[in-house]
Amino acid sequence: SAVLLTNTWSTAVRGGVQLLSFGAGQGQCVLTGETTIDCQLGGLASGATATVTVRLRPRGVGSITDQAQVSAAEFDPETADNADSETTRVGSA
């Protein structure tokens, strides 16, 4: 219950990035900082999933690192799988 996803991104892109849109398949997301979105996803049954989409537009060449972290009201004995990140290179071929 009370599942919270915090999504942040950092860039090494000349000119930065433009936030185009964000949203969740359930619950509600709000922009809480220049590069941070918090999503209140409500309750999820064990093994269930929820989708959060963040669309960014790079304004140059470089890389974007996106990080997501989740938490819930219940005790989680295995917190190692509560965060993930991915880096994407952007630029000309």
- Per-residue model confidence as pLDDT tens for the chain (93 residues): 999 999 999 999 999 999 999 999 999 999 999 999 999 999 998 889 999 999 999 999 999 999 999 999 999 898 999 999 999 999 865
pLDDT at 63 (0 to 100) = 95
**SS3 category, 79:** helix
Half-sphere CA count of 93, side-chain side, radius 13 A: 0
Q: How far apart are CA 35 and CA 64, in angstroms?
A: 11
pLDDT at 69 (0 to 100) = 97
The pTM (predicted TM-score) of the whole model is: 0.88
Whether 62 and 17 have beta carbons less than 8 Å apart is answered as: no
